[in-house]
Amino acid sequence: MPQFDFYGTSRDAWQNVQNILAVSDVSAITDIWYERPEPNVYAAATDAMADEVETKRRIFLIRSGVHLSYQHGLVQQRSGPKAGLYRIAPRELGEVLELTLPVCFERESQLWLSSGSLFCAPEFFDAEAEDWRKPTAEHNAFYRDVLRLIKASVRRVKLSSSTRWLGPEALSLLQEGRARVADRG
């Protein structure tokens, strides 16, 4: 169950999304509430996608040729304020990577950086076989390719007793004393 954590500003995060979607065989689904069981699939980083990411910062990355099961991967909320709307159930959707973008927040006149992550689930629901299975070799290679793209835009930096991966704007803000890492540990 590979996971890579990294820090960045909104600008750093959006640059990662643009870099990933610039690869011709990658598309993304935003993790928002849907009125119908039909998610928004993006082949490029658009203004509409940016607006959706402002609402919820998780994106599901899909490599070309992967069959997704919207029937299983979009679940209708039965009760509460979102009753009738559909949400993404990533492991039931199929072979996707989960990209959670880093977030910044201000507290006591200080900018705080929190982490984002790239995650590959240990198993997925295969709708054709109607069974759970482990990621394919192609999916694991896809994870490594996306990880390489993210690592190309961040720097490994030692902070106190730990090492973190930071986007360029986040690193600059930290060096200038204008930001702090929220979950340094």
Query: Along the 185 residues of the chain, how does pLDDT read in single tens digits?
Result: 589 999 999 999 999 999 999 987 899 999 999 999 999 999 999 999 999 998 899 999 999 888 787 887 899 999 999 999 999 998 888 899 999 999 888 888 888 999 999 999 999 988 888 899 999 999 999 999 999 999 999 999 998 788 899 999 999 999 999 998 887 54
Residue 41: per-residue pLDDT:
93
Residue 184: per-residue pLDDT:
52
| Ramachandran quadrant class, 143 (left: phi over 0; alpha: psi -120 to 50; beta: rest) | alpha
Please report, in angstroms and rounded to a whole number, the separation of the first and last CA atoms in the chain: 22
Residue 126: per-residue pLDDT:
85
Model-level pTM greater than 0.95?
no
- Residues 180, 113 contacting (CB under 8 angstroms): yes
Show contacts of 35-40: CB within 8 Å, 24+ apart.
35/85, 35/86, 36/86, 37/70, 37/71, 37/74, 37/76, 37/86, 38/70, 38/74, 39/70, 39/74, 39/88
Residue 159: per-residue pLDDT:
83
Residue 72: per-residue pLDDT:
79
